[in-house]
Structure 1
Amino acid sequence: MLNYVEVAASWLFSNAKGRDAKAFTKGPAFTSHPEPTIPITSPDCGADGATLSPDYMFGGEGRFPELKWESVEGVKQWLLMSEDPDAPLPTPICHGIYLGIDNEKLSVTNTDFKQESEKSTKLSGGFYYGTNRRNSIYIPPRPLLNHGIHRYFFDIIALNEPLDANIIASKPTRDQIAKEINGKVIAWGRWTGQCERRWK
């Protein structure tokens, strides 16, 4: 029954995709840096635009893609954001926010996203997670059935000063972080993975 509901929703919202204009990197903090300039690769998934295998999707292992990026001059801290701009909603779905990433850390792997303890938002990679749509560490991709290909943005953002430690540990939302990084963004980069779910 749920499959029928999803397929019906996909038909109703077939044109409700491509919310790129509402992406996190379109906010005021990125006015001086409108385009990505930091190269990012994914050793385990492939080049930018790669198709995500079931291991990286909801219902599979739900793995976080391995990401590697280059450093930039003046970076004091990194911020990582994952979102789906093709969900049939007014704004992209936030799949994950990761804060307080050390400036010398230039890669993440799936094992970095394990929670150290139930009482802390700190992860095994040494950074913290914020609030996503499901109040979890990470939401693996799960496009609506027959809604076509969804893209998943993984944006690494270079900040010229660290965020306040209390903010980092407070599990902030996408909107809260958007305000906190005003005047602090010096560069960013994007790796995109894509996938779809089909049912006939």
Structure 2
Amino acid sequence: MPTFGERFEAYLGYLLSSQKGRDAGLMTHLPPFDKIKPTINVSSEIGASGCSMPKQCAMDGDNEWPGLTWEKVPDAQEYIVVAEDADVPIPNPIAHGFFYGIPAEVTSIQHADLKEIDTTKHTIKNGSIKYGKTMLKTVYEGPKPVYNHGPHRYYYTVVALKQPLENVPEYPSKTQLVKAVNEDNVLAWGEWIGVYERKLE
């Protein structure tokens, strides 16, 4: 039987059901990304872009990263990967995880990579990839939309850079990371979208 807290959350979700679609605040809708069309093919072991994500990927499941793979971009020197919820009922999307300093030879991030964490240096995958500061200050937060708020779209974006990032604060926020990306430094980007919904009958 649902707890009082779950029922209250579901009631709020119903009341806020029209408060969605924060696409304008997604990283790729902000300068300099908004002037560049997506060309990188990004895939996930979960399924095609736009598919429903299984509960194992959710925070109230196993919180598994939906293994991502992308095609290698010629001349790319570094990659960034950002995960955002576009339908959260607040003014701007929430970053569920973001990784930067990804070497040019790396073209995938799998769930196992997130288990190789150095919390002192804020790195994963044997120290080769850095991670930033999420709202809950974790490496990654899987989907956990408000009960009965409807389906949420989770955007997993890959950005190829012409040059490695500079002037990035240690353990940055998404805003700080985006600010560090110079307009002339974006070579290409692409995205994979997963959909997740929590219902309380």
TM-score by length of 2: 0.93
Partner of 1:96: 97
Gaps of 5+ in 1: none
How far apart are residue 108 of structure 1 and its match?
1.1
The total of aligned residue pairs comes to: 196
Partner of 1:18: 21
Partner of 2:8: 5
Percent identical residues:
34
Letter in 1 for 2:173: T
Letter in 2 for 1:57: A
The 8 Å contact of residues 98 and 129 in structure 1, kept in 2 or not, is answered as yes
CA distance in 2, matches of 1:60, 1:27: 32
The 8 Å contact of residues 151 and 193 in structure 1, kept in 2 or not, is answered as yes
CA distance in 2, matches of 1:119, 1:41: 31
CA distance in 2, matches of 1:31, 1:148: 27
The 8 Å contact of residues 115 and 121 in structure 1, kept in 2 or not, is answered as no
Q: Deviations over 1:18-63 (max 9, x none)?
A: 1111111111121431x311111112x0111111111101121110
CA distance in 2, matches of 1:118, 1:108: 18
Letter in 1 for 2:30: G
The 8 Å contact of residues 28 and 182 in structure 1, kept in 2 or not, is answered as no
Q: How do 1:1-200 and structure 2 match up within 5 A?
A: 1-33=4-36, 35-43=37-45, 45-124=46-125, 126-164=128-166, 167=168, 170-183=170-183, 184-200=185-201
Letter in 1 for 2:138: S
How far apart are residue 5 of structure 1 and its match?
1.8
Letter in 2 for 1:113: L
**What RMSD over aligned residues (CA atoms) do the two structures have, in Å?**
1.4
* Secondary structure in 2 matching 1:120: coil
How far apart are residue 116 of structure 1 and its match?
3.2
